[in-house]
Amino acid sequence: MLSETIDKYLKICNCNGKELSEKSGISRSNISRMKNNPEFSITESQARALAKAFCSMNEELDFSNLYSELTESNKNLSYTYETFVQNLNDLMKDLDINAAELARDIKYDPSYLSRIRTGKRKPSDIGGLSLKIENFVRKRCRESEYSAFTDENGSISGWLTVKKTDNRNYTYDFIKKIDDFNLDEYIKTIHFDEINIKELPFNFPGSKKYSGLDEIKKAELDFFKAAVLSKDTSKVFMHSEMPMEKMSEDHDFDKKWMMGLALMIKKGVKIDIIHHLDRPWKELMLGLEAWIPIYMTGLVSPYYIKEWQPGLFSHLNYSSDVCALKGECLRDRQDTSFYYLTRNKNEVEKCRKNNDILLSRATPLMEIFSEDEKVEKILSQEGEEYFEPGSVGNTFKNIRIRVCEGKWALVSKISNPHIHFLIRHPILVSAIGNFEPQYSETD
């Protein structure tokens, strides 16, 4: 433990916290936290400064060995980078902090900050970044606003890098939902077999415009209705990078939206969807988890775009052969949303062609299939050694997982339904390969 390592070398060097602070250049308050807070995390630069300081006070100490001991002690903390990312996103959301404004103040490139927030980049000095963010927050906000985001010492940076706000294992939850899902029970729950599409009334003009949060919800549902009630059974394309938070707070809309997808699948329509993965890890995994019932039908092909570059506007593009829905809003400002739904043949054809181009630039997020022969072909590919994460068989009753490190993860559901998910997204492949199964008290 880091605090024990600090105390050990204070005794060896016969010095106190004040002297260590002066020698290392680290504030006395941070030295105090290192000594007294068993969950306090230090940066690499702080570890070097401490090792150098201790060596200057005792010539018998070896810098390399001491630095290694400090960093190893630091690794034993419950602190994780995922915690920092989650806390940073919570802070920015609750204090309504504009990402561009923050990036400008701390002198970070906006796209680099975005990649940090989505877990795609890890800064070399998380502690230093946390202090910059703390300085920005204290300048911008009143104490009454940010007091909830401080640790026991009143530090925002300490809260960002130590406080654990969420103990959920989202990778485990995602796999567990696949394991537990029963297609027969799901069909009964939503009364899928009782749905009669022809009985659903819907009057829709040639085109329609929508603006504001309430209207854009209606726009998406109107698209589903138009696609479902037409005689057309061609593929439907869906892509959205619109903010999810406000929409997801409306549980009634969520149910209607998922029912719209269920109706298209009831009709036998196949769906190509580009998921927008440039989101915080929690939001990403919860979003994929929500899609599991739809994935289980085998009628959905999910994609993503590598290195998606966010712009000033967020966009939505849905299309079938009979209707198309386009939407946009200022990024992070869903109240500025404007949607346009059309059945005009020329407009629909243009949207369809544009969406085909977008799909051609996308990469499969996962392949979903039921043929065991395809599994054997994947596993027998020369040069692709795979492993099975330990204890999976003891944790899940209806799942088998195989991982080819850096290339793919194969999640196979044994029954109800019998289906395979070949996942290729590098972050998901790594998460599935490295996740720790959870156990109950009786295991």
pLDDT in tens, 22-54: 999 888 777 877 776 655 667 667 888 898 999
For 228, residues 6+ apart whose C-beta sits below 8 A from its C-beta are 197, 200, 260, 263, 264, 267, 269
**What angle, rounded to 10 degrees, do the helices at 2-12 and 44-57 form?**
20
Question: How does pLDDT run across 137-182, given as a tens digit for each residue?
Answer: 999 988 878 887 887 667 888 788 765 545 567 777 888 888 888 7
Look at residue 360 in the predicted model and tell me its pLDDT.
Answer: 93
Which residue carries 């949607």 as its tokens? Answer: 339
Q: What is the mean pLDDT of the chain?
A: 81
Look at residue 201 in the predicted model and tell me its pLDDT.
Answer: 46
Indicate if the pLDDT at residue 372 is higher than 80: yes
Mode of pairing for the β-strands spanning 271-274 and 300-304: parallel
Look at residue 102 in the predicted model and tell me its pLDDT.
Answer: 94
Q: Specify whether the CB–CB gap between 206 and 295 falls below 8 A.
A: no
Q: Which of 153, 149, 119 is nearest to 27 (CA)?
A: 153
Q: Which of 325, 247, 319, 226 is nearest to 290 (CA)?
A: 247
Look at residue 199 in the predicted model and tell me its pLDDT.
Answer: 43
Indicate if the pLDDT at residue 413 is higher than 60: yes
**Confidence category of residue 349, pLDDT binned at 50, 70, 90:** very high
CA 301 and chain centroid, separation: 19
3-state SS class at 303: strand
The DSSP-derived string for 76-108 is TSS--HHHHHHHHHHHHHHTT--HHHHHHHHT-
Look at residue 390 in the predicted model and tell me its pLDDT.
Answer: 54
Look at residue 356 in the predicted model and tell me its pLDDT.
Answer: 93
Look at residue 320 in the predicted model and tell me its pLDDT.
Answer: 92
Q: Which of 61, 48, 115 is nearest to 88 (CA)?
A: 115
Indicate if the pLDDT at residue 104 is higher than 90: yes
Residue 387 in tokens: 């492993």
Look at residue 420 in the predicted model and tell me its pLDDT.
Answer: 92
> Which residue stretches of 155-212 are H helix?
156-161, 170-180, 183-189
**Confidence category of residue 193, pLDDT binned at 50, 70, 90:** low
Indicate if the pLDDT at residue 403 is higher than 90: no
Mean pLDDT comparison of 190-194, 324-328, 411-415, highest-scoring range: 324-328
**Confidence category of residue 119, pLDDT binned at 50, 70, 90:** confident
Look at residue 76 in the predicted model and tell me its pLDDT.
Answer: 43
144, 269, 288 from 273: Cα distances, Å: 43, 13, 12
Residue 88, burial from CB neighbour count under 10 angstroms (0-12, 13-18, 19+): buried
Look at residue 426 in the predicted model and tell me its pLDDT.
Answer: 83
Indicate if the pLDDT at residue 407 is higher than 50: yes
**Confidence category of residue 190, pLDDT binned at 50, 70, 90:** low
Mean pLDDT comparison of 35-39, 199-203, 248-252, highest-scoring range: 248-252
Question: How does pLDDT run across 270-311, given as a tens digit for each residue?
Answer: 999 998 877 667 677 777 887 888 888 888 999 998 877 777
Q: Which of 279, 84, 281 is nearest to 164 (CA)?
A: 84
Q: Specify whether the CB–CB gap between 301 and 237 falls below 8 A.
A: no
